[in-house]
Amino acid sequence: MLRSGWMFTVILIQHVGGIPLLPPLAMEGGCFLASEEVDIFVLEGEAIILSCPMFDGVLEKRNIAPPNANYLITKDNGMEGVSFQGEGRVQQREKQLWFLPAEASDSGEYTCNYRNETYCVTGNITLRVYESRSVDQEKLTSKVEVEVGENLRYACPSLDDFNDTETLIEWNKDPRRGRAGPFSQARGRLIIPAVRHSHAGQYTCRLTVLIDEQPYRVSRSIALIVRGVDPEPPSTTSSTLHDLSSTSDSEILSSSSSTVYTPVIRPPVIVSPKNGTVFESLHGSGLELFCKVLTECQTAESTVVTWLVNDQSVETSYLDGRALQGGRRVTAESEVCQVELRLLIVAMTNEDVNTELKCVAQNKGGRQEVVALLQLEDTTSTWLLVATVAACFFLTVVSIFLYVLFKPKRTKKMDYFLARQNSTF
């Protein structure tokens, strides 16, 4: 009875205030049911923060969300299902459910409940956690539609719940979709000036977030759909092919008004590491590498730099989970710009011996790549050097001790003279 009267008061106030009457909510198990259900598809091994977005509109529009309401998320069976505490791999933190990280067994239906002594509102979320090898990419990908010629600046989506560091967000395009049009990235955004059909395809942004001082992977995928027709490339007249040394000044001036010159774009140059470089580190130690690329400043943003591990992306290689790439930085040096991309290997193991690392740089002018190898530092020579130094030090100490112990004692000299015998005075 109290619940009915309370709902009537809310509806009456809405009507008097001129607000259109909202359709009544259905009931389920004594709770008002938020009809909108949410489906979420994610990858196994990544951090997930699950909330109930369908409640926001329902509670706000009906003004039935007092601060003293309890919030509970359970799995598979409403209030009687499995509930979660504030610790462990799956934990509820205020109005969110955190998976650190998610596993395939987390798939299922989750129920969100707002409840107090007066009312209860409930809604459902279906979570599907896919293994990387059997993932349905279409369900993990959201669509982004743009027109030909549009300037695209797109931020990595659905990261509001994470305390992310934008410099660690890395965008990549699926190479299986044909040759990729050039793109760049800055502050976590995918940047494509003057979009063309060659830019269409699937893009994935990846980052690492720190939760309770532990790193977790997070990724988002989008399908870029390009509408419209690419403009025809500008034509150049045959006068651009003349040998200018045999052309008079007047001919050059007259032809320049009808000739379109296409500026020459130089390919990027990788200055570090050098081809054939061997990176060494002790077993269990971390290793930080940098790929440094020189390019013209006007093409710096569109120059794509990436690390490959045995000709695979870092995220799909065996180093996934132990290696992170990111921290792209562009700096101006004289008349050129330097693009720098970091690769961090958390801990070296025996598995990393002879692993091939490749830094690839590409823009409209061309492509360059360098190959380096990983090796474990030889600890035998290190310990031999340490043992040699220690032995020399020990022998020096022993020698000093023995010298002091067996040093010959010096006797005191006596002054003496011979007396004459049979002397006569």
pLDDT tens for each residue of 256-312: 444 444 557 788 889 899 888 898 888 888 889 999 998 888 888 889 999 999 988
Q: pTM to 2 decimals?
A: 0.49
Cα separation, 385 vs 370, in Å, equals 34
Task: Pull the structure tokens for residue 316.
Answer: 């799909």
If one compares 390 and 421, the residue with the highest pLDDT of the two is 390
Residues 6+ apart with CB under 8 A from 365: 264, 265, 266, 267, 268, 299
- The separation between CA 186 and the C-alpha centre of its own chain, rounded to angstroms, equals 13
pLDDT of residue 124: 84
Q: Higher-confidence residue: 34 or 12?
A: 34
Looking at residue 238, its pLDDT comes to 39
Q: What is the pLDDT of residue 103?
A: 92
Read off φ and ψ for residue 392, nearest 5 degrees: -60, -40
Q: Which pLDDT score, from 0 to 100, does residue 12 have? A: 30
Radius of gyration of the chain (CA): 37
Q: Enumerate residues 6+ apart whose C-beta is below 8 A from 369.
A: 270, 358, 359, 360, 361
Check: CB of residue 189 under 8 Å from CB of residue 153: yes
Q: What six digits make up the tokens of 39?
A: 């489906």
Q: What is the pLDDT of residue 291?
A: 93
Nearest by Cα to 277 from 289, 265, 259, 267: 289
Cβ-based neighbour number of residue 71 at 10 Å: 14
Residues 202 and 144 sit within 8 Å (Cβ to Cβ): no
Where helices occur in 194-248 by DSSP H, the ranges are: none
Residue 357: pLDDT band with limits 50, 70, 90: very high
- Residue 253: is its pLDDT beyond 80? no
Q: What is the largest CA-CA distance in the chain?
A: 158
Element (H, E) at 370: strand 366-376
Task: Please name the amino acid found at residue 197.
Answer: H
Please name each of the domains of the chain with its CATH number: 2-133 (2.60.40.10), 136-227 (2.60.40.10), 269-376 (2.60.40.10)
CA distance 325 to 205: 12
Residue 242: CB atoms within 10 A of its CB come to 14
Nearest alpha-carbon partner for 313 in 349, 350, 358? 358
* Window from 57-71, 146-160, 260-274, 300-314 with minimum mean pLDDT: 57-71
Backbone angles phi, psi at 212, to 5 degrees: 55, 40
How would you class 60 by CB atoms within 10 Å of its CB: exposed for 0-12, middle for 13-18, buried for 19 or more? exposed
Cα–Cα distance, 343 to 424 (Å, whole number) = 108
Position with higher pLDDT, 91 vs 14: 91
Q: Is residue 341 a contact partner of residue 325, using CB atoms and an 8 Å limit?
A: yes
Lookup result for tokens 């995220």: 315
Higher-scoring residue by pLDDT: 231, 261: 231
Which pLDDT belongs to residue 62? 63
Opening angle at CA 244, ends 243 and 245, nearest 5: 90
> Is the pLDDT score of 92 beyond 80?
yes
pLDDT-based confidence at residue 151 (cuts at 50, 70, 90):
confident
Q: Tell me how far apart the alpha carbons of residues 139 and 178 are, in angstroms, rounded to a whole number.
A: 21
Place of tokens 């923060």: 49
CA distance 71 to 83: 11
Q: Which amino acid is at 114?
A: Y
- By the 10 Å C-beta count (0-12 exposed, 13-18 middle, 19+ buried), 265 is classed as middle
